[in-house]
Amino acid sequence: MNLMSLLLDAATVVETAAEQNENSISLWEMTVNGGWIMLVLGIFSMVAVYIFIERFININRAAKNDDSFMESIRNSMKDGDLAGAKELCKQTDTPLSRMIEKGISRIGKPLNDIQTAVENVGNLEVSRLEKGVALLSMIAGAGPMLGFLGTVIGMIRAFFQMASAGNNIDIATLSEGIYQAMVTTVGGLIVGIIAFIFYNILVAQIDKVVNMLEAKSIEFMDVLNEPAK
C-alpha cells in the first residue's frame, strides 16, 4: 500500500465519518478535536469581537456631527464670550469639543500657533480612537497562520503514526491527524476573515471622524477670522 492510497483512504474515512455524524458533531466537539490551537483561536475571536464592539461604539460617538455645537461656538465667539464657549466645550466632551477648546484657549496668539494646537489635539484624539485597532489587524493576519500551523502539526502527527505503525496502519487513527489539520485550517480562516472585516469597518469609521475633525478645524479658523460684534 503506497502513501497516496493511504492518504486517500484516510480522507475517505474522514469524509464518511463526517457524513454519518454531520447532525451530531457539535461546534464544541470540533473545537476540542482541533487541539490547543483552537483554544488560541477562540481567545483571538473573543478579543476581536470585544475590540470591535468597544471601538465601534466609541468611534460612532465621536463621529456625531452636531451642527448646533459649532453654531453655538460661533455665536459665543462673535459676542466675545470665550468663557461661555469654553464651558460649552467642557459640557459636550467629544473629540471635536476638546479640539475646539484647545483652540479657544490659544486665542490671542498667532493664528499659526492656534492652528497647530488644534491639529495636535486632533491627532491625539484620532490616536485614542485607533486604540486596539492594530491588535485587530494582528489577529486578522495571525489567525490564518495559526490555522495553517495546526494543519502542519496535524499532518506531522498523521505521518508519525504511519511511520510508527509500520505495516499495521490504522486508518481511523491516521484520520485523527488529518481531522485536526482540517479543523484548525477552517478555524483560522474564520477568525482571520472576521477580524479582517472588523478591522476595515473600524478604519472606515475612523477616516470619517478624521475628515469631520479636519472640516471643523477649518470652520473654527474661519470663525477666528470673522469680525467680532
Read off the pLDDT of residues 50-80 as tens digits, 9 standing for 90 and up. Answer: 999 999 999 988 887 777 888 888 888 888 7
- Mean pLDDT in the chain? 79
Give CA–CA dist 99/155, Å, rounded.
Answer: 56
pLDDT at 64: 78
Report d(CA 146, CA 123) in Å as an integer. 34
* Mean pLDDT, rounded, for 210-218: 89
What's the average model confidence in pLDDT over 133-145?
A: 92
Domain ranges of the chain: 3-19+26-59+133-212, 66-130
Name which of 136, 66, 138 is nearest 100 in CA terms: 66
pLDDT for 228 beyond 60:
no
Grouping H, G, I as helix, E, B as strand and the rest as coil, residue 22 is: coil
Inter-CA distances, 56 with 163, 206, 221, Å: 51, 9, 29
The pLDDT of residue 139 is above 90: yes
| pLDDT score, position 7 | 43
Half-sphere exposure of 124 (CA within 13 A, CB side): 12
Least confidently predicted of 99-103, 214-218, 224-228: 224-228
Q: Which residues contact 55 (CB under 8 A, 6 or more apart)?
A: 129, 131, 132, 133, 136, 202
pLDDT tens for each residue of 73-91: 888 888 878 888 888 888 8
* C-alpha span between 205 and 19 (Å, rounded): 43
pLDDT digits over 142-189, tens only? 999 988 888 887 777 777 767 676 666 666 666 666 777 778 888 889
Helices (DSSP H) in the chain: which residue ranges? Answer: 3-20, 27-33, 36-63, 67-78, 82-92, 95-105, 111-129, 133-165, 171-225
Distance CA(176)–CA(210), nearest Å, equals 51
Which residue pairs, CB below 8 angstroms and at least 24 apart, start in 132-137? Answer: 132/51, 132/54, 132/55, 133/51, 133/55, 133/199, 133/202, 133/203, 133/206, 135/47, 135/51, 136/48, 136/51, 136/52, 136/55, 136/195, 136/198, 136/199, 136/202, 137/195, 137/199
Model confidence at 204, pLDDT cuts 50, 70, 90, reads very high
Q: Look at residue 198 and tell me whether its pLDDT is greater than 90.
A: yes
- Please give the average per-residue pLDDT across 12-27, as a whole number: 50
- Asked if residues 192 and 143 have their Cβ atoms less than 8 Å apart, the reply is yes
- What integer is the mean pLDDT of 112-134? 89
What end-to-end distance do the CA atoms of the chain give, in Å?
Answer: 96
Task: Output the pLDDT for position 3.
Answer: 43
